[in-house]
Structure 1
Amino acid sequence: MKALFSLLVILSLSGCAVIPGAHIPFNQEEDDSIDLEKMVDIYAITPKLLRERMAKPETTPVFNHQLEMEIQDYDYTVNRGDILNITVWDHPELTIPAGSDRSPSEAGNWVHSDGTIFYPYVGEVKVAGLKVTEIRDILRKELAKYIATPQVDVTVASFRSKRVYLTGELKQPGTQPITNVPLTLLEAVSNAGGLTEAADWTNVTLTRNGETKRYSLRDLYRQGDTRENLLLRPNDIIHVARNDAAKIFVLGEVGKPTSLNIGRSDITLAEALADAGGFVQATADASGVFVVRKAPDDTGKIAEVFQLHARNATALVLADQFVLQPRDIVYVTAAPIARWNRLITQILPTVQMVYFGSVTERELTD
């Protein structure tokens, strides 16, 4: 980070005289160990660069075969806390009536903490961990001892045993039940009302069995990359982070130096400059618009620097096509005359003090 700051200082000076107070002294021995020319790649923002670096590759939706297979094989298993609705046709005495003032969950058979239910003629039945079809077969087999060819139907009236937890930047965070309908990450986020404006949709984490993995809803929404979607399991924790870290910084000769959140929409260099109040016309050097970006780790560099010569409208078109990335630093240098004026402004009080001091001394001498 110190090297990046040193780079900004060099850009601001642009080879001119150092203005008092406009630089921060660093340990000279440490500075000499950093050869910025070798540690930084510098590019001019040109149409060719935009074609090579900013062109969006054509994407086709990626089909998630594993997810599709998991959904096809999915079958809900009953567990403690669930409420079952059991019907034995033509035998109303075995079916708990659900009157107008009783909901199906109130009229159903609750799965106790030991994983059992009680049913007439059958007694206690262990149902935890079983599918409804398996429970139906058990009841039909036991009831056949008392009823000729019993017709039994079993459904889950209320899903209470399994849930997932959604936290963070969602419009309706909270818990969602796991039901007989497979629940995916995309559906859970949709059920929670979607993302808030402060959400970082590239940073959605899923914690399962003590392990946390990161997923990108951006790739899922924009590119149809269903590899970022998955089937949720009981006790999964989904967290959508804030986009506080997804910022860019606009510094130098702009109307209001600031930091900007990228949000879920890309932001271009032109938009960033406009949001920061544009150039300070009296002092900005339009040919010295720089974007400083952390270089990829595998390059051995500390930064990439992109320079825009924004002296005409064509250059602003290029700026509107240059998409910024999180943590980019946009820096607008001062024009040479502005640096000279600042130098004069800072040394003028000293010159005046020396001058008036000399005049006063001469008058006293006379």
Structure 2
Amino acid sequence: MAPRGAALQREIVRESQTEAANFQIVGLTSDAVLKQVATWPATGTGLGLNWPGKGQSQPSRALRRGDIVDLTIWDSQPNSLLATPEQRSVNMHGLEISPDGTIFVPYIEVVEVAGLSPEAARSEIQSRLTPIAPSAQVQLTVREGDQNTIELISGVTKPGRYPIAARGVTILSMLAEAGGIPDAMRNAVVRLQRGGTSYATLASSIYGSPAGDILLRGGDRIVVESDPRSFVVMGATGRESTVMFEKAEHTLLEALSMGGGLAEGRADLRAVMVLRKYSPKALRSDGSGPGKENVVFTFDLSSAEGLFNARSFKVHPDDVILATESPLPAASSVLGLFGAALGAVQRAEAL
């Protein structure tokens, strides 16, 4: 028997009809079937796409526990309790905001500042000083602790920790400050770790929608990575390979093109297949979902309707696209081998 590089359609169909078959065949022969299959659950390794809305982000920079506050208090009164006549100001540097959100300031003792903006904290301290130093003026600066920085871990030109400006910073501004996402990054996925929750979105979604350009919070951690999703193309194709997703979704026709197309003279246009595995929870007996965990979708690309269906059918991560072998080349190969053998015998007899 002549060797082949891919299965024949009749072999797969024959196996599906046996009692031991653990898969079903679904022919994508009409637009109605295509629409029904499109409602079935998603499969494969997903990106877990979800993204916080703008309402979930803090509107501006706020003081947090662990920040370091530096105070300079100016008082021009000759009998000031805070400053000497020779030096009209007093410096109080290195006041760390404690775990309970407070700092200690002499004469007014504990002041709760966590959650306030730098300006609001300055105003609060100055108002507390008024009874003992009516003319005092307070200057406040902040050195950010870990909770008031953003950490860009990977996937940018300049990873590292970046402080949050007093006016706040959006994710696009932060990515730009870190040198941007390298051009070599394929279909970049932006992952945000905030508190105990993880978020993810495609970078193209952030660039393309103002709603995605959220304000960041202190303690946010950002990872940018190439899209990890893939599908396999095999059989009578230009090349057998694992193909990575290059955008949010791909149709079957796009996927075949990315795999080098169908092998001319070998592929059976009437039997291009997509192998997909569903969760047991997705199984249905009424046709509203797959009947078995393993499903083989078949397409006839020799017809206009089949081509349009393949143009609309969305490939899922971890799908296997199989271009079956045309039975005609297999028969031709057998005849060719037979002819070659007959010729060899005839030459031997002539000698």
Q: How far did 1:286 drift?
A: 0.7
Q: How far did 1:217 drift?
A: 4.2
Percent identity over paired residues:
18
In the alignment, which of 188, 192, 200 is matched to residue 215 of structure 1?
A: 200
**Cα separation, 2, equivalents of 1:71 and 1:272:** 42
Which amino acid letter does the alignment assign opposite residue 206 of structure 1?
A: Q
Q: Is the 8 A contact 2:66 2:97 kept in 1?
A: yes
**Cα separation, 1, equivalents of 2:63 and 2:280:** 47
Match of 2:244 in 1: 261
Q: Is the 8 A contact 2:69 2:95 kept in 1?
A: no
Q: How far did 1:237 drift?
A: 3.1
How has the CA–CA distance of structure 1 residues 113 and 149 changed in structure 2, closer, same or farther, with 3 Å as cutoff? closer
Match of 1:280 in 2: 263
Match of 1:13 in 2: 8
Does residue 206 (structure 1) correspond to residue 193 (structure 2)? The answer is yes
Does residue 337 (structure 1) correspond to residue 328 (structure 2)? The answer is yes
Q: Is the 8 A contact 2:51 2:201 kept in 1?
A: no
Match of 1:251 in 2: 234
Does residue 138 (structure 1) correspond to residue 125 (structure 2)? The answer is yes
Which amino acid letter does the alignment assign opposite residue 311 of structure 1?
A: S
Q: How far did 1:336 drift?
A: 0.9
Q: Is the 8 A contact 1:127 1:135 kept in 2?
A: no
Match of 1:103 in 2: none
How has the CA–CA distance of structure 1 residues 277 and 114 changed in structure 2, closer, same or farther, with 3 Å as cutoff? closer
How has the CA–CA distance of structure 1 residues 239 and 315 changed in structure 2, closer, same or farther, with 3 Å as cutoff? same
Aligned pairs (5 A) from 1:19-168:
34-36=20-22, 39-54=23-38, 68=55, 71=58, 76-77=62-63, 80=66, 82=68, 84=70, 86=72, 88=74, 94=88, 110-111=93-94, 122=106, 130=114, 131=116, 132=118, 133-134=120-121, 136-139=123-126, 141-142=128-129, 145=132, 147-156=133-142, 158-161=143-146, 162-168=148-154
In the alignment, which of 232, 237, 240 is matched to residue 224 of structure 2?
A: 240
Which amino acid letter does the alignment assign opposite residue 226 of structure 2?
A: R
* TM-score, scaled relative to structure 2: 0.64
How has the CA–CA distance of structure 1 residues 200 and 134 changed in structure 2, closer, same or farther, with 3 Å as cutoff? same
Match of 2:42 in 1: none
Q: What is the aligned-residue RMSD (CA, Å)?
A: 4.9
Match of 1:20 in 2: none
**Cα separation, 2, equivalents of 1:54 and 1:70:** 35
Match of 2:309 in 1: 318
**Cα separation, 1, equivalents of 2:262 and 2:301:** 10
Q: How far did 1:78 drift?
A: 5.2
**Cα separation, 2, equivalents of 1:127 and 1:340:** 89
Match of 2:293 in 1: 302
Residue segments in structure 1 that go unaligned for 5+ positions in a row: 1-8, 18-31, 56-61, 97-107
Q: Is the 8 A contact 2:111 2:125 kept in 1?
A: no
**Cα separation, 1, equivalents of 2:56 and 2:293:** 45
Q: How far did 1:255 drift?
A: 2.1
**Cα separation, 2, equivalents of 1:174 and 1:346:** 65
* TM-score, scaled relative to structure 1: 0.62
Moved more, 338-347 or 86-95: 86-95
Q: How far did 1:253 drift?
A: 1.4
Q: How far did 1:246 drift?
A: 0.9
Task: Describe the superposition over 1:185-234 as per-residue Cα deviations: whole angstroms up to 9, x where unpaired.
Answer: 676556542576535656725264xx563533479649979799786342
Q: How far did 1:172 drift?
A: 4.1
**Residue 311 of structure 2 aligns to a residue in which SS?**
helix
Q: Is the 8 A contact 2:189 2:226 kept in 1?
A: no
How has the CA–CA distance of structure 1 residues 79 and 149 changed in structure 2, closer, same or farther, with 3 Å as cutoff? same
Residue segments in structure 2 that go unaligned for 5+ positions in a row: 13-17, 40-49, 78-82, 284-291
**Cα separation, 1, equivalents of 2:158 and 2:212:** 25
Which amino acid letter does the alignment assign opposite residue 242 of structure 1?
A: S
| Count of aligned pairs between the two proteins | 308
**Cα separation, 2, equivalents of 1:63 and 1:332:** 38
**Cα separation, 2, equivalents of 1:168 and 1:280:** 40
Task: Describe the superposition over 1:269-288 as per-residue Cα deviations: whole angstroms up to 9, x where unpaired.
Answer: 22222233322222221101
**Cα separation, 1, equivalents of 2:206 and 2:97:** 43
**Residue 314 of structure 2 aligns to a residue in which SS?**
coil
Match of 1:104 in 2: none
**Cα separation, 1, equivalents of 2:52 and 2:67:** 33
Q: How far did 1:52 drift?
A: 4.2
Higher relative contact order (CA 8 A, sep 6+): 2
How has the CA–CA distance of structure 1 residues 283 and 153 changed in structure 2, closer, same or farther, with 3 Å as cutoff? same
How has the CA–CA distance of structure 1 residues 294 and 258 changed in structure 2, closer, same or farther, with 3 Å as cutoff? same
Q: Is the 8 A contact 1:79 1:127 kept in 2?
A: no
Task: Describe the superposition over 1:3-57 as per-residue Cα deviations: whole angstroms up to 9, x where unpaired.
Answer: xxxxxx9x8133369xxxxxxxxxxxxxx99523xx33413153334444559xx
